Amino acid sequence: MDRSELEAIRNKIDDIDRKLSELLQERMDLVSQVADYKRKNNAEILDEGREKKVIENVLSSVSNPDYTENIKAIFQFIMDNSKEYQRKRLVEKGKFQKLVLLGEKLSHSISPQIHGMFFKRANIEGQYDLREVSYSEIPDILNILRNEGYTGANVTIPYKTEIMKYLDEISPTALRIGAINTIKIGEKCTGYNTDYFGFGKSLEFFGVSIKGKRCAVLGSGGSSRAIVSYLEDQGAESIVIVTRDTIKAAIKYPHLRCIPINYFSAMGYDLVVNATPVGMYPKTGDSPITKEQLCGAGFVMDIIYNPSMTLLLEYAEELGIPYANGLYMLVAQAISAQEIWQGESINQEITNSIYRELKDEI
């Protein structure tokens, strides 16, 4: 081959490259249409079955087996870049919200349903996913979520405290509580605690005022932290922690009185809050305290929402004590998280309407 023949071959390659460029642009136009469909239908970006078929279809037309692996690698690169383009297109500001709940066991979560209802009412296009993760995944999960196009995350047990060390910023309320349940993902990852606001909005909805009232919180675990902080901020006259392990509780709440659960009586308490998982599905036949212990309470709130009527609330009904479960708190904390992600206040009626719809369904 002489120099002129080499130049002729190179010219043919240049010609093919130009045609490939035109075809790739045409392909990306079609990819954009697919992205728009996925945006409107909340579909996942990755379709493994479709991707496999595309590669198989391409390789079926390769006549020279020596080229198979190279062509496969080239088309895999094209597919990967198409997915990345779709992600960027889907998360363009004002077009799509991609959110996720992180936890250990999430099969019974109704959070996707709540946020889906919010998207519909607020006329926002978005998706809300569930992602079960292990402790070993926590150090890298925020970078992974950012790279996958997520703009926000909720965090549930058992990672509300563990994930804090990997955040860039933490709100003052969340720092005081010592746990987060909401993260805004951007250049920085900032943690918040909306359980605090969800609990408060639930009390307001049911007409329970706190100022000057005697309050008892059953349980000293992670769920009690936001509740205690809210009760303190609202001027409760007194707050007692009712728990099986008073020594551990006293370390966590050195400024509060801690009572062994077996010796507790609700007589004279204006508000009793169950912040334990006792009575939650599937162990629905349990109650943190007996019916006799509950006598005399002014109002009972159980932060459990599944079942909607726990044994503790059955006791309250039998005793004629006003009560509420945790469904409104769950909805309110979710909408508080959306206020953080959307960067604006959300009409209270949206929370109320979602609560009413869910209450009829559950």
Residues across the chain:
362
Q: CATH number for the 97-195+330-361 domain, one of 3.10.25.10, 3.40.50.10860, 3.40.50.2030, 3.90.550.10?
A: 3.40.50.10860
DSSP per-residue codes, 276-335: S-TT-TT-TT--SS-HHHHTT-S-EEE---SSSS-HHHHHHHHHT--EE-SHHHHHHHHH
Residue 93 has what pLDDT? Answer: 47
Could you tell me the two tokens for 219? 């349980």
Q: Where are the domains of the chain?
A: 3-90, 97-195+330-361, 207-321
Residue 78 has what pLDDT? Answer: 87
Indicate the CATH number for domain 3-90.
Answer: 1.20.59.10
Residue 131 contacts residue 102 (beta carbons within 8 Å) = yes
Largest CA distance in the chain: 102
Closest CA to 109 of 142, 132, 140, 143: 132
Q: How far apart are CA 236 and CA 356, in angstroms?
A: 29
pLDDT in tens, the chain (362 residues): 788 888 888 888 888 889 888 888 898 888 888 877 766 665 666 666 788 888 888 888 888 988 889 988 888 888 888 877 776 666 554 567 899 999 998 988 999 999 999 999 998 888 999 999 999 999 999 999 999 999 999 999 899 999 999 999 999 999 999 999 999 999 899 999 999 999 999 999 999 999 999 999 999 987 899 999 999 999 999 999 999 999 999 999 999 999 999 999 999 999 999 999 999 988 888 999 999 999 999 999 999 999 999 999 999 999 999 999 999 999 999 999 999 999 999 999 999 999 999 998 87
- Does domain 207-321 fall into CATH 3.40.50.11540? no
Return the half-sphere exposure (C-beta side, CA atoms, 13 A cut-off) of residue 87: 15
Helix or strand (DSSP H, E) at 199: helix 195-205
Residue 355 contacts residue 325 (beta carbons within 8 Å) = no
Question: Do 97-195+330-361 and 207-321 come out as alike in CATH topology?
Answer: yes
Q: How far apart are CA 215 and CA 217, in angstroms?
A: 7
Q: Which residues contact 277 (CB under 8 A, 6 or more apart)?
A: 304
Tell me how many degrees the CA angle 27-28-33 measures, rounded to the nearest 5: 100
Residue 24 has what pLDDT? Answer: 87
- Which residues are known catalytic residues? 160
Helix or strand (DSSP H, E) at 17: helix 3-41
Q: How far apart are CA 197 and CA 211, in angstroms?
A: 16
